[in-house]
Amino acid sequence: MDLSIVIVNWNTQQLLRDCLHSVNRALDGLTAEILLVDNASSDGSCAMVRNEFPDVRLFESPENLGFAGGNNLALAHAAGRYVLLLNTDTLVHGTVLSDAVAWLDRNPNVGVMGPRVLNTDGSIQPSCSAFPSLKYLAMQTLGLTRVARLDSYRMTGWDRASERRVEVISGAAMFVRRSAMLEVGLLDEAFFFYGEETDWCRRFAQAGWEVMFAPIPDITHFGNGSASRLNHRRDVMMTEATTRLHRKHGGRFAALCCFLLLSAHNISRAVFWSLVGMTRKPGAWPRAVHFGRVVRDLPRAWPGQAGQL
């Protein structure tokens, strides 16, 4: 089998329906399977899949396993030479699936590949990045990553028109060589919703596999399909995941430095937007409230505490 497409769903029924229709249109003669894990949705997603997409292998979890746990449930059953991790809030276009398989066939040293991902307005989405090192986190806190030519972290100054070795591919649309996955292992389930693909990409690189971006068009990513339900908790969980990454790959001191940098980032934003709010600028107070709530919950963002959210 050429390709196993793995999708994890949590209460995104309509997005999921559109995503599955787009995948079926894009299979283009590939021998493929679609494995869907439902993380205890309550919106009728499972019934919709059973009724409208009977060929999809559906795994119904009685609890929300998170992104890593949900994907791992399906990855253990994947039979394709390659695996595509795909978010429900995506649309697959054209021949991107068959082109990606052909590209991976031509590049046997690549363990993970990311195709070109678009925003809904057709602009390029920064779907690959560098590892969130302490240097880049400090630059982000200082606002330097807002300058495209300085943003080596998200690489916003690069037009994604060329192949490039990168450190992280977004889990929204990530092609993985199954033989490499069997060597490296599955996603680390200590990461619940963020950081798991960053950790995975680093592990592939440490095992000697290349992590690459290839300008193969196109997958549209709406963004925040399930995460939109998290509100300020999303930023708290991202802080927890990034701190966990540093603890795993750099030790406790690196984790502490990471946590302090991200705390400084959120505190500075809370203060800034509170001051701007005093001028009655439209939109300032909602931002101030958002970052205030993040700061309030920062003690929960130390690894192992985010489960309390």
- For residue 157, what pLDDT band results from cuts at 50, 70 and 90? confident
Minimum mean pLDDT among 21-25, 151-155, 202-206, 239-243: which range?
Answer: 151-155
Check pLDDT > 70 for residue 42. yes
Percent of the chain having pLDDT more than 70?
96
Average model confidence (pLDDT) for the chain?
A: 93
- Give me the CATH code for the 3-227 domain, please: 3.90.550.10
Check pLDDT > 50 for residue 307. no
In this prediction the pTM is 0.91
> Average of pLDDT values for 227-254?
86
Q: What is the structure's pLDDT at 205?
A: 98
Query: Tokens for 139?
Result: 């630059």
- For residue 309, what pLDDT band results from cuts at 50, 70 and 90? very low
Percent of the chain having pLDDT more than 90?
83
Query: Tokens for 142?
Result: 């200082």
Check pLDDT > 50 for residue 115. yes
Check pLDDT > 60 for residue 112. yes
pLDDT per residue as tens digits for the range 117-144? 999 999 999 999 999 999 999 999 998 9
Q: What is the structure's pLDDT at 224?
A: 53
Start-end of CATH 3.90.550.10 domains in the chain:
3-227
- For residue 77, what pLDDT band results from cuts at 50, 70 and 90? very high
Check pLDDT > 90 for residue 146. no
Q: What is the structure's pLDDT at 223?
A: 79
